Amino acid sequence: MAEKNSHSAGFISRKSLLFLFTLTTFLFIFSWFFVLRSTGQPQLIDYSLLPNSKLFATIDNGSSQSRNVEPSIPGPSSSMTHPSDSIPNTSNSLDENEEASAERDVTICDSNKVVLKVFMYDLHPEFHFELLDWKAERNNIWPDLQTKIPDYPGGLNLQHSIEYWLTLDLLSSSFPNRKGVGSAIRVHNSSEADVIFVPFFSSLSYNRNSKVRSPHKKSTNSVLQEKLVRFLTNQEEWKRSGGRDHVIMAHHPNSMLDARMKLWPAMFILSDFGRYPPNIANVEKDVIAPYKHVIKTFINDSSGFDDRPTLLYFQGAIYRKDGGFVRQELFYLLKDEKDVHFSFGSVQKDGIHKATRGMHSSKFCLNIAGDTPSSNRLFDAIASHCVPVIISDEIELPYEDVLDYSEFCIFVRTSDAIKEKFLINLIRSISKEEWTRMWNKLKEIEGLFEFQYPSKENDAVQMIWQAVARKVPAIRLKLHKSWRFSRTKDGSKRASTVVPWSRSKHLWRDLS
């Protein structure tokens, strides 16, 4: 009898526990129903009532998309304004009824944008114009640009010449006879500046002085980088920010390999991230700038679809290392295809003129990853109005936060491109109307990639400055946070210490 009562009590206890578990589970699910109901419907939020509503975005399938039609380019200060211009950006993935409401303009330069204030170090001429064989007179640091502008060497040197154009633009930014308003102006008090500019012609230094010449044990390029590190890390401007607000040009992939580990907190201006680990350079803190195209711009281009006899064009180095293996794979896939030009080429023996003629007479131009993800070929294609076909999975593109490359480029994954007949069938499937739309878009945006002096509104120089300006708010946020507890007894800022962070999604860590 006792055993039976014990069994009955155990049964009731298990039944009670089951009931309690069921009730708890129900209450938990019921409570989450209300939580999800209150937070899971972003479409019910009226974003027009929020401040800076044009910048708000929602998350859809893991990607951020702008809710409004005209993303603005924020500026870091508020002293001057810039004339406006826009580039239309129409979605292709919507039906006709949706296109009317979704059509949008990507504002490259708007009337509310302010000028970036830049403090530039007066570095010794050995870091910049002396590399162009310019000889300083009377201890001058800079050439007199209103008398004579030093020439930059031609050929392939030109493709990484952003250092030259940006420095010229800053030096002339305060000329009284300067036409128009630029995107950046030089200030002579670093405390007033948004960023600190380092005028080291690093790409030219690498191209000209990277070889060790006897009896020296180091190359001139390595010596200059060592001098630069010592100079910068001893400056009060560097100590104040840990280098975060400094802008360093390293457009050639090999141009700052000696110094990058010591100067990594700075904002690098790069062509891509191919030679850089993600904790040293990444898209969050650095700026990707275009190459200067080396073939001639197609002026007064009226050559339509039927006037360009070559369907697909590539001329360059075929056998490359690293990610460039795809070039040789594509060579064997495409070399016998009708109306496809795929051959080896270089700048030697009239190579640039041949490439100019080839691209100007082609409908599509291949831009394939080489030793690094990017190449000058993309910008040669844009200048030729030859629709770029980009096969480079790791490529980062200039000003892609304000410019939709899918409107004038074809992107193909490497894994697809090397499939038998995939690429050629894809290219042949693009209609005349689709190609013409992209061709017209190329003619519309080509000026965004033009380097020139004097710089003009929304050319490559101004676009790079605007890209730098868009990084400034994030730099300031990080600096202001690092200064919360970083004050000495006399009230001055104490430089915070920064170390690389092991994960690419984090830029740096402050140590007090």
Tokens of 147: 């008398």
Instruction: Taking residues 195-224, report their average pLDDT.
Output: 96
Judged by average pLDDT, the poorest of 31-45, 144-158, 220-234 is 31-45
Rounded Cα distance, 444 and 318, in Å: 31
The reported pTM is 0.76
- pLDDT at 346 (0 to 100): 63
Task: Choose between 77 and 49: higher pLDDT.
Answer: 77
Query: What's the mean per-residue pLDDT of the chain?
Result: 80
- Asked whether the predicted pLDDT for residue 30 surpasses 90, the reply is no
Which CATH class for the 305-449 domain?
alpha beta
pLDDT in tens, 329-363: 999 999 899 999 998 766 656 778 889 999 999 99
- Asked whether the predicted pLDDT for residue 37 surpasses 60, the reply is no
- pLDDT at 39 (0 to 100): 37
Which long-range contacts does 346-353 make (Cβ < 8 Å, 24+ apart)?
A: 346/316, 346/317, 347/155, 347/156, 347/294, 351/315, 352/294, 352/295
Judged by average pLDDT, the poorest of 111-115, 416-420, 456-460, 494-498 is 494-498
Across 111-147, b (16+ Cβ under 10 Å) vs e yields eebbbbbbbbbebebebbbebbebeeeeeeebbeeee
Instruction: Taking residues 95-112, report their average pLDDT.
Output: 42
User: Which residue ranges does the chain devote to CATH 3.40.50.2000?
Assistant: 305-449
Using 50, 70 and 90 to split pLDDT, how confident is the model at 370? confident
- pLDDT at 466 (0 to 100): 97
Instruction: Taking residues 211-236, report their average pLDDT.
Output: 96
- pLDDT at 153 (0 to 100): 93
Instruction: Taking residues 74-101, report their average pLDDT.
Output: 36
- Asked whether the predicted pLDDT for residue 321 surpasses 70, the reply is no
- Asked whether the predicted pLDDT for residue 17 surpasses 70, the reply is no
- pLDDT at 495 (0 to 100): 53
pLDDT in tens, 239-281: 999 999 999 999 999 999 999 999 999 999 999 999 999 999 9
Rounded Cα distance, 204 and 302, in Å: 36
Strand, helix or coil for residue 390: strand
Using 50, 70 and 90 to split pLDDT, how confident is the model at 386? very high
